[in-house]
Amino acid sequence: MNLKNLFIVLSCAAAVSACKSNKKEKSDVTGWNYNDKNMGGYQVSREKEQRTGPGLVFVQGGTFTMGATEEDVMGDWNNIPSRKTVNSFYIDRTEVANIHYREYLYWVNNVFDGDEYKDVRSQALPDTLVWRNELAYNEPLVEYYFRHPSYNYYPVVGVTWRQAHDFCLWRSDRVNEKALLDKGFINKTAVKNIQGQGSESFNTKAYLLGLTTPTPGNQVRSKKNPLKNPNGTPRTTVTFEDGILLPNYRLPTEAEWEYAALGLVGQNPNPSRKEGKRGEELITNKQVFAWTQNVNGLRDSRRGTWQGTFLANFKRGNGDNMGVAGGLNDRAVYTAPVTSFFPNSFGLYNMSGNVSEWTGDIYRPLSPTDNDDVSPYRGNHYQNVYKNKDGEFEKDSLGHVKTVYVTDEESKNRRNYQKGNVINYLDGDSMITGVTYGGTDVAENSKTGRGYGVSTLISDKSRVIKGGSWNDRPYWLSPGARRFLEEDQGSSTVGFRCAMDRLGSPEGNGHKTGINYPTRRQNTRKR
């Protein structure tokens, strides 16, 4: 083939490619074009998949046996093994570290710097006094652990469940604000000075409802902007349907946390790695801890320089938190940096040991048997967005969209739920004399509950913690072990990590949902 013919072939190929790229996507139900100003201008996003948010790891969901994998030596019997299914989701690769939480405090102190926000600033502070013990010298940790650069990447502790929840909300808004900034939908000069923004600071939900209108960048007004109004002009605001904004960061559910900690994908001898290639449905061993190198042991069993090293940060025995001088076993008397020790099969660090972690669930002893078998969770208290008498949305003093709890009156005629607050749903408290976890109405349920401290130490503020810590024996390092702590309390052994919903294919980006068979022709004769 001579040069002239080659040029003609390449030109034709380019022309065909251009025709394909200019071909309008159309509706399967009406035949009308999408993204066509001459056909109504209905916009469909060109973003097809969810991007992974900062710090997150994709966890492909599936079925697993949730609960105890060892003898119940504590006699609680609160983790009865049961088969559950967890949807795919994202979770932090590491625990949230001191430097991350100080970044959050920096933002809070600058945005809410007025005297009227004094309580907001103080309520965000972690409790450094959690390091104090009556018969131990821990004052250096009280004074320096959270603040000194030596501890920048050690897990933050002394954070309550409520503070961890608020951190997740803050992180969601900062990540989405950055996404809009990168795409030019927020002017870069508008975010240089955050001092004193207060209720005018960026909030994702307020932005989507039109209650926050940041100054857009100049480039979004150009023809290069992929988002269009119905008349074909560039659009300066983003909707959730555009696929640019991410779902909220949140605390993982207990089931999600336990599933991610086990990392059972590491035991699958032939997992699916790409679209079109089937994987096995097989787990080869009963796993006790978060690693698959030595599923029932605490040391690395592989030959080489790692052989015999501890796989987690924990307390080996009474008075032994790190071993003997010259041969320290886990090399950490208290916590260790968040990327220490061996990650599990999902690439997650310290799912066993270092610090226990908050989950989203309200604690009940029999949740493993009471909860649904798909996406199990106890803690639902449904909310609606508030509208004033004029039917308008409003923001509160912190810039968040106002919400109201769903009432029982609103719910009574539904088939799938009949109450707005279902934290106590089917937990058995109404059938046992003298045991009441919460009060009889919403106001009382938000308090400690009538039975707390009288007939039970569990209340509607009790949240599940998982994973074991630097000061725990190996029993608590098993992902199936569960304990609880009141949501307004902190501890030197409890930290947290964030999670996020997965939208789309459960196998991840680049994969389809369901089994796709080729279309079989029923009749090839012309009609």
CA–CA separation, 26 and 36 (whole Å): 9
Q: Within this chain, do residues 367 and 391 fall inside the same structural domain, yes or no? A: no
Q: Within this chain, do residues 390 and 469 fall inside the same structural domain, yes or no? A: no
The DSSP-derived string for 401-428 is: BPEEEPPHHHHTT-SS-S-SB-TTTTSS
At residue 195, what are phi and psi to the nearest 5 degrees?
Answer: -60, 125
CA–CA separation, 256 and 469 (whole Å): 19
Q: Within this chain, do residues 413 and 484 fall inside the same structural domain, yes or no? A: no
Q: Can you give the pLDDT at residue 435?
A: 55
Is residue 34 situated within a structural domain? no
Give the rounded distance of the alpha carbon of 409 from its chain centre. Answer: 32
Q: Can you give the pLDDT at residue 447?
A: 46
Is residue 52 situated within a structural domain? no
Q: Within this chain, do residues 318 and 333 fall inside the same structural domain, yes or no? A: yes
Q: Can you give the pLDDT at residue 480?
A: 94
Supply 429's token pair: 């408290």
Q: Within this chain, do residues 290 and 404 fall inside the same structural domain, yes or no? A: no
Is residue 165 situated within a structural domain? yes
Strand order in the sheet with 462-466: 483-486, 462-466, 356-362, 494-495
Q: Can you give the pLDDT at residue 29?
A: 93
Structural domain that includes position 200:
57-374+462-501
Q: Can you give the pLDDT at residue 193?
A: 79
Q: Within this chain, do residues 237 and 173 fall inside the same structural domain, yes or no? A: yes
CA–CA separation, 134 and 85 (whole Å): 44
Is residue 43 situated within a structural domain? no
CATH number for 185: 3.90.1580.10
**355 Cβ neighbours under 8 A, 6+ residues apart:** 95, 155, 157, 335, 467, 469, 470, 493, 494, 495
CA–CA separation, 367 and 383 (whole Å): 23
Q: Can you give the pLDDT at residue 441?
A: 43
Q: Can you give the pLDDT at residue 442?
A: 39
Give the rounded distance of the alpha carbon of 107 from its chain centre. Answer: 21
Q: Within this chain, do residues 391 and 490 fall inside the same structural domain, yes or no? A: no
Q: Within this chain, do residues 282 and 134 fall inside the same structural domain, yes or no? A: yes
Task: Give the CA-trace dihedral at 187, 188, 193, 198, to 10 degrees.
Answer: 40
Is residue 512 situated within a structural domain? no
Is residue 192 situated within a structural domain? yes
Q: Within this chain, do residues 188 and 229 fall inside the same structural domain, yes or no? A: yes
**212 Cβ neighbours under 8 A, 6+ residues apart:** 200, 202, 203, 206, 395, 399
Mean pLDDT per 10-residue run, the chain (527 residues)?
A: 58 53 80 90 88 96 92 86 96 98 97 93 97 96 97 98 98 96 89 83 95 87 87 92 96 98 90 84 85 81 71 91 88 96 94 97 93 96 95 94 95 92 84 55 45 77 96 94 96 98 93 83 62
For residue 81, the number of C-alpha atoms closer than 13 Å in the C-beta half-sphere is: 10
Is residue 6 situated within a structural domain? no
CA–CA separation, 128 and 159 (whole Å): 9
> 402 with 393: CB under 8 angstroms?
yes
Q: Within this chain, do residues 325 and 288 fall inside the same structural domain, yes or no? A: yes
Q: Within this chain, do residues 147 and 230 fall inside the same structural domain, yes or no? A: yes
- At position 115, the amino acid (one-letter code) is D
The total of structural domains in the chain comes to: 2
Q: Within this chain, do residues 261 and 324 fall inside the same structural domain, yes or no? A: yes
Is residue 447 situated within a structural domain? no
- At position 107, the amino acid (one-letter code) is W
Whole-model pTM: value is 0.90
